[in-house]
Amino acid sequence: MADIFLSYRRHDSQSATGRLSDRLAAHFGPARVFLDHESIAAGDDFAEAIRRAVGTSVVLLAVVGPDWLTACDVHGKRRLDDEADFVRLEIESALLGGVPVIPVLVEGAVMPTAAVLPPTLARFARCQATELSETRWNYDVDRLIATLQARFAIESEQPIPGSSGASDGRINVFARLALDLLELTAHPTRLIARQQTGHALDHVRAFVFLLSVLVLGNLAFLLGIGATSLAEWIAVGVILGVLTLTLLTALLTLAWRLVGTRIEFRQVTLIFAYIYSGSWIGFCAGALLAATGVQLVAPQVFMDYLAIVRTGAPLAQRMDEARTLLENALHGPAAALFVFACLVWGSAVVWTIVAWGAFRNSFGCGRVKAVLATAVWAAMLGILMQLAASAARNL
């Protein structure tokens, strides 16, 4: 999905919007600019594609021409007064979703007041506008590009217009990983949408991102419990993480197909890789806090825990002894940090629920079908866990 959404009326500002789109695409790249007829794939539901694009964009540019406010339909009714008007829906969606809106005045247009707008668009009148004048078009567009790149951190391979150009905007792989982690934490659905460009490299990037997060998460947790042989433990953790993701993705793909949405395994894998990564970071952050507290109270508790798990006693007995060992260590600093760990885990659960919306956005389905697919997936997962628990009791 694109970072910059262009909202406009074809009979009002199509020419100016086309020129602006060309400049933005040349600077930021075509994939970062959404222009309805160029950005919606054949066969897509137009209204649903617009809704998804607005919700995952970084900023909406509302191009306002001289007839933007007064444009009427064939019956003489003002288009803005029609609740189904696409321009109105686009701006309403952005305002309700917290997407910044920048009115772009072209061809001598002036900013409308709240009094002449529908009540749902009253906030639009308070948005700071920018003007693109015919006599200084390049200068004004350069200023707009500089604002988008500096204020909204929309990346480009080109320097900000008017800057010295000392940096070409390229960042190394570690900085890219850090930036993606930050964006995944703050805006998961936006990052996931932006990673779906339709290229094979999308899946490579997702897999590399997943592996990096699994390594970082395992490393943080292992350092927290004071483990040795880090490389061996990290390798085991990464392999288990990839296998777990594969299983969860296969079940979710089946669940979506059972509710009538035909999708491919690789489509689910791409999205799930990022959601799983974010959830894993949240789990490991909480585990690190809890483990640090336990280490402060009883430094050898995790070594004792592993010794109990590795004995030849029945599994139920080993689990009871290990649980008792950890419970006895939960006092003082350990108890306090465990409370903070629970808060982190709770936040991770909320984050996962929000990020789960990426499936609905990507597959273009309704909320009911998305909930149904999730419920089917959870039921299948629950059955597998019951079978696994039953098998473990027989060991």
pLDDT digits (tens, 9 = 90+) for 282-335: 999 998 898 888 888 887 777 777 777 677 777 677 777 777 877 788 888 888
Q: What is the pLDDT of residue 190?
A: 83
d(CA 348, CA 277): 11
- Characterise 357 by phi-psi region: left (phi > 0), alpha (psi -120 to 50), beta (else): alpha
More confident residue, 174 or 181: 181
Q: What is the pLDDT of residue 315?
A: 66
78 bridge partner residues: 72
- Interacting residues of 4 by C-beta distance below 8 A, sequence separation 6+: 24, 28, 32, 33, 34, 57, 58, 59, 61, 148, 154
7 bridge partner residues: 62
More confident residue, 6 or 305: 6
The pLDDT confidence band at residue 243, using thresholds 50, 70 and 90, is very high
Percent of the chain past pLDDT 70, that is, above it, reads: 90
Compute the mean pLDDT over every residue in the chain, rounded to the nearest whole number. Answer: 85
Q: What is the pLDDT of residue 168?
A: 47
Write out the two tokens for 170.
């390229």
Coil, strand or helix at 161:
coil
More confident residue, 351 or 177: 351
Q: Residue 216: which of 238, 242, 245 has the closest Cα? A: 238
Q: What is the pLDDT of residue 258?
A: 93
Q: What is the pLDDT of residue 175?
A: 79
Average pLDDT of the segment spanning 119-125: 93
Q: Where are the domains of the chain?
A: 4-170, 179-393
The pLDDT confidence band at residue 153, using thresholds 50, 70 and 90, is confident
Average pLDDT of the segment spanning 238-265: 92
Q: What is the pLDDT of residue 167?
A: 47
The pLDDT confidence band at residue 214, using thresholds 50, 70 and 90, is very high
- Interacting residues of 139 by C-beta distance below 8 A, sequence separation 6+: none
Task: Read off the amino acid at residue 63.
Answer: V
- Of 119-128, 177-186, 273-282, the range with the lowest mean pLDDT is 177-186
Whether the CB-CB separation of 239 and 302 falls below 8 Å is answered with no
The tokens 């805006």 sit on which residue? 187
The pLDDT confidence band at residue 344, using thresholds 50, 70 and 90, is very high
The tokens 């002449």 sit on which residue? 116
The pLDDT confidence band at residue 166, using thresholds 50, 70 and 90, is very low
More confident residue, 141 or 55: 141
Task: Read off the amino acid at residue 113.
Answer: T
The pLDDT confidence band at residue 42, using thresholds 50, 70 and 90, is low
Percent of the chain past pLDDT 90, that is, above it, reads: 44
The pLDDT confidence band at residue 48, using thresholds 50, 70 and 90, is confident
More confident residue, 268 or 394: 268
Write out the two tokens for 55.
């919700």
Say how many residues make up the chain. 395
Task: Read off the amino acid at residue 236.
Answer: V
Q: What is the pLDDT of residue 221?
A: 78
pTM over 0.85: no
| pLDDT tens-digit map of 365-389 | 778 999 999 999 999 999 999 988 7
What fold does the segment set 4-170 form as a domain?
Answer: Rossmann fold (3.40.50)
Q: How many CA atoms lie within 13 A of 146 on its CB side?
A: 13
Q: What is the pLDDT of residue 117?
A: 93
d(CA 54, CA 49): 9
d(CA 216, CA 205): 16
Task: Say if residue 266's pLDDT is above 70.
Answer: yes
Q: Is the dihedral of CA 142, 61, 196, 248 positive or negative?
A: positive
Average pLDDT of the segment spanning 170-188: 80
Q: Buried b / exposed e across 52-72, counting CB within 10 Å, b at 16+?
A: bbbbbbbbbbbbbbeebbebe
